[in-house]
Structure 1
Amino acid sequence: MSKIDGKRFGPWAVITGASSGIGREFARQIAASGIHVALVARREPQLHEVGLECSREFGVEHRVIVADLAVEGFIARIAEATRELDVGLVISNAGSANPGRFLDKNSDELAMTLRLSALAHAEMARHFGRRLVDRGRGGLAFVGAVGAENGAPFMAHDGAAKAYVRSLALALHEEFKPFGVYVTAVAPGPTDTPVLARFGLDPKTMPLKPMLAGDVVREGLQALSANRATLIPGRMNRMMRAVVPASVTRSMMMRMFANMPELANPPS
């Protein structure tokens, strides 16, 4: 578990997608640093569970904010719920996994994915970026996906949206640096969360063992604390990214995703 500087990144952190997986682990590790957590997601019972766990184990306050980041205007709800909080850290972790053939997607799903996996990050950055710049310190971490900019078969649209997240974060890293605001793009590879099941993948049989969410978050917070522009968590993931050509990675993904339920049972 990684500890971060409460003076720079506290006293409050806002975490989207906080109800499970990587977002939940961000909440726990940030709370372990003594920073209060405002938890954002659609699933209210799970958010309360995470919040109570953080308060019980680490003695911090928590606030639950139920919001669907795929819905236009969501930022107004989050802005109002955090208006009086001194927010020093934002973890923009919104996103979803919607695997399947691109031609099976309808226009509504394409639009929803762009709102959730791209535009939501921009809205969070615009609102909280202003507040962080005004206070002269703090941090923004954006969670994307490793290699998204190289194309992801059967995740074509989702990958393209995640590529936007990395580009946005890299640009804001430079724009916000003069104002004392740290920005890092965290690009995880396969991570042992419930999302893997949607791809028909079993962590026990995958050729490269997926990372634990706790390790992804620990490395991500360390990178943010050092104001690194980007991070691929996991040494093996970094090595694979450096030495394996993108064309080979795409071919591997084609074979690996062959057993996805969405491919075996495409929409009628």
Structure 2
Amino acid sequence: MRALLDKDRFGPWAVVTGASSGIGLEFARRLAASGINVVLVSRRPKILEEIGVSLMQEFGVSYRVIEADLANDAGPKVVADMTADLDVGLLVSNAGAGRIGNFLSFKEEDLRWITQLNAMSYLVLTHHFGARLARRGKGGVLLVSAMGADEGIPYSATAAATKAMVSTLGRGLHVEFQKLGLNLTVLVVSPTDTPIFEKLGFARADMPIKPLSVQQCVSEALAALSANKPSIMPGRLYRLMHALMPASMARKMTGEMMKKSTNFVV
């Protein structure tokens, strides 16, 4: 596996949230392959420990496991405190979840839970590590958003809104951080073949375009970060579809797919 990032610029340590599976796990692997030590963050420390040992054995890097619930407003502080002694050159903010259902069927606590996890944790971690990176004068931040979020996604309205916030935050900070010598890229995740794919309402048989592999998704994201692009939507066909399809048509099509995965009624 070839190196995708300059470890002198983005190392010696990188923090990856949501590192226990899917895209987060692949980020950890690609960073380790680049010779960057990894801080693995999620709510599943046993799995993270297994991943860390594997990365250490395969790539010769060091690792640290942090058990943190980023859906809790104390979660980001746990990450900040437990990395205070490390020279962190990169934050990959990837933790998140999607809850499918009719908006009015959710309780207020559910709405607050997903907003804290998908948006507020990103804001707080980016602020914390952004300040640390600015003092170094080099490094980067990669924020994970989602295709369709900016246009709105029926039956996933709150999750989409949180990811739209991440996209907007990243686009604004790209200009600010560039002046500080930092890279910042928003990964707008196209439909990608991960364990959560079908839970989010996407049946492979209904997809007009085949889902991307996590390897392609992460490779394109890291290449964009290295080039300091403001955002990247992996997959040429998905970029083309997104550019050509009217937002109203995309909402209708996505809403029909999402509706199949919810039993919530009002």
User: Does TM-score exceed 0.5, indicating one fold?
Assistant: yes
Query: Residue 259 of structure 1: CA displacement?
Result: 2.0
Aligned to 1:83: 84
The answer on 1:222 being equivalent to 2:220 is no
1:266 to 2:252 alignment:
no
Query: What is residue 99 of structure 2 aligned with on the other side?
Result: 98
Question: What residue is the counterpart of 1:10 in the other structure?
Answer: 11
Match of 1:257 in 2: 258
| Contact 1:41/1:65, CA 8 A, preserved across alignment | yes
Write the deviation string for residues 82-117 of structure 1: whole angstroms up to 9, x where unpaired.
Answer: 111100011011210111111111100000111011
Whether 2:54 is the aligned partner of 1:56: answer no
Deviations 1:230-254 (A, max 9, x none): 1111101100111011111011112
Q: Could you tell me which residue of structure 2 aligns to residue 35 of structure 1?
A: 36
The answer to whether the Cα contact below 8 Å between 2:37 and 2:63 also exists between their aligned partners in 1 is yes
Decide whether aligned partners of structure 1 residues 199 and 147 sit closer, same or farther in structure 2, where only a CA change above 3 A counts. Answer: closer
Question: Per the alignment, in what secondary structure is the counterpart of residue 146 of structure 2?
Answer: coil
Structure 2 residue runs of 5 or longer lacking an equivalent are none
Give the deviation of 1:74 after TM superposition: 1.6
Cα offset, 1:200, TM superposition: 4.5
| 1:156 pairs with 2:165 | no
> Which stretches in structure 1 are left out of the alignment for 5+ residues?
none
Report the Cα distance in structure 2 between the residues aligned to 1:157 and 1:199, rounded to whole angstroms: 13
> How do 1:139-154 and structure 2 match up within 5 A?
139-154=140-155
What is the 5 A alignment of 1:116-195? 116-195=117-196
Q: Secondary structure at the match of 1:88?
A: strand
Shift of 1:206: 2.9
Secondary structure of the 1:190 match is coil
Structure 2 equivalent of residue 112 of structure 1:
113
Q: Return the offset for 1:255.
A: 2.1
- Measure the CA separation in 2 of the matches of 1:9 and 1:164: 25
CA distance in 1, matches of 2:234, 2:94: 15
Residue 267 of structure 1, CA deviation: 7.0
Would the alpha carbon gap of residues 224 and 123 (structure 1) be closer, same or farther in structure 2, given more than 3 Å must change?
A: same
Q: Which amino acid aligns with 2:211?
A: P
Question: SS at the partner of 1:195?
Answer: coil
The corresponding residue for 1:24 is 25
Q: Structure 1: how far apart are the matches of 2:53 and 2:205?
A: 31
1:91 aligned partner, one-letter code: V
TM-score normalised by L of structure 1:
0.95
What do the CA deviations read for 1:162-199 (whole angstroms, capped 9, x no partner)? 00000111111111111111000110111101112213
User: How far apart are the structure 2 equivalents of 1:251 and 1:76?
Assistant: 39
How far the C-alpha of 1:75 sits from its partner, in A, is 2.1
State TM-score, norm by structure 2.
Answer: 0.96
Asked whether the 8 Å contact 1:192–1:212 carries over to 2, the reply is yes
Identity of aligned residues (%): 45
User: Could you say which residue in structure 1 is the equivalent of 2:214?
Assistant: 213
| Cα pair 1:199 1:259 within 8 Å, conserved | no
